[in-house]
């Protein structure tokens, strides 16, 4: 049920939601998961089957990324619960919530099917983790619609980047196709939320800044709650699939600073001015740490190349 205090905001943005939904429906392309999965490579699993990493030519970090990505998608029931709680089930907002849910459902299916058909991950490990993840039902729960839009805009873009970068590290053309198809959907979802949040900035800049500061400074990579998430997140960051530098350069700067123009807003309340100052300082710190971490990774890669030159 929509939070009563959010009703005026959602009603004021109803026409925006209608426009963005129409744009999404005219832009998105119909696709079918069964056409992307390499079924010819699938084989029956024996009762006492024991998986080995040798069955799939994947870097451990890429396997971690696939594991985190698919379990994030599998947690859809709880994301749907919160999206509907924030935006309601009526009008254009409700239509969007249901359309988004239907599209996200394909993502979990196609990635799961690819992983099992190609034996890219241990199926027992994956299923036990899925059970634990869905049983726990851990997802962020923004307290209102403005914070919800700020969060999902950042989250959808982070997911798109993670999916695309993961696919780029898979040598298998089928795996790349799966991850890029899912990433393309996530990008359209991001555009809906980004532009809906832009409308909040026009409607109430102070509330938008406060909401963005709260969500940006507490943002965690999608997948929090997954078993051994911290270890997987570290592997993903160390490999450069998704790290602080990416978060700063591809999310915080282009969306918060440029698209939403946080630094240039005028007429903010005192509380919003303080929130803006905290937000800009935070983004600056993330950028500095991200650049430092990226430089260290480049040094490690260069040192490894010297120890093991290609072709030697």
Residue 311: predicted pLDDT = 56
Q: Is residue 45 in a domain?
A: no
If the chain, 312 residues long, is cut into consecutive pieces of 10 residues, what is the mean pLDDT of each piece? Answer: 82 97 97 97 90 89 94 93 93 97 97 96 94 90 94 96 96 96 98 98 97 95 80 92 95 97 96 98 96 83 61 53
Q: Is residue 94 in a domain?
A: yes
Residue 293: predicted pLDDT = 86
CB of 145 closer than 8 Å to CB of 199? no
The domain in which residue 200 lies consists of 9-40+55-305
Residue 89: predicted pLDDT = 93
Residues 6+ apart with CB under 8 A from 213: 275, 276, 278, 279, 282
Q: Is residue 127 in a domain?
A: yes
Q: Is residue 4 in a domain?
A: no
Q: Is residue 46 in a domain?
A: no
Q: Is residue 179 in a domain?
A: yes
Q: Is residue 310 in a domain?
A: no
Query: What is the CATH classification number for the domain harbouring 148?
Result: 1.10.620.20
Report the number of distinct structural domains present in the chain: 1
Q: Is residue 48 in a domain?
A: no
Residue 295: predicted pLDDT = 86
Q: Which of 158, 287, 138 is nearest to 215 (CA)?
A: 158
At 171, list the tokens: 């040598």
Residue 23: predicted pLDDT = 98
């Amino acid at each position: 049920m929509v939070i009563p205090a959010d009703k005026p905001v959602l009603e004021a943005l109803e026409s925006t939601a209608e426009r963005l939904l129409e744009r999404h429906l005219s832009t998105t392309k119909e696709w079918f998961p069964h056409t992307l999965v390499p079924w010819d490579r699938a084989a029956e699993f024996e009762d006492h089957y024991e998986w080995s990493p040798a069955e799939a030519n994947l870097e451990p970090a890429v396997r971690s990324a696939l594991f985190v990505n698919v379990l994030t998608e599998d947690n859809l029931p709880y994301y749907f619960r919160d999206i509907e709680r924030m935006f309601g089930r009526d009008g254009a907002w409700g239509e969007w919530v249901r359309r988004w849910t239907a599209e996200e459902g394909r993502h979990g299916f196609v990635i799961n099917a690819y992983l099992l058909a190609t034996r890219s991950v241990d199926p027992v490990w994956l299923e036990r983790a899925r059970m634990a993840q869905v049983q726990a039902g851990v997802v962020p729960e923004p307290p209102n619609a403005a914070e919800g839009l700020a969060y999902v805009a950042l989250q959808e873009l982070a997911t798109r980047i993670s999916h695309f970068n993961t696919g780029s590290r898979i040598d298998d053309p089928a795996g790349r196709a799966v991850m890029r198809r899912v990433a393309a959907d996530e990008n359209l979802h991001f555009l809906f939320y980004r532009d809906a949040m832009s409308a909040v900035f026009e409607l109430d800049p102070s509330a938008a800044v406060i909401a963005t500061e709260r969500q940006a400074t507490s943002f965690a990579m999608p997948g929090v709650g997954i078993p051994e998430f911290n270890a997987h997140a570290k592997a993903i960051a160390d490999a450069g699939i998704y790290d602080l530098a990416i978060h700063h350069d591809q999310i915080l700067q282009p969306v918060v600073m440029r698209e939403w123009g946080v630094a240039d807003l005028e007429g903010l309340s005192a509380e919003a001015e303080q929130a803006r100052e905290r937000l800009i300082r935070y983004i600056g710190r993330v950028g500095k740490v991200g650049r430092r971490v990226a430089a260290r990774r480049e040094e490690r890669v260069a040192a490894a190349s010297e120890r093991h030159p290609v072709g030697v």
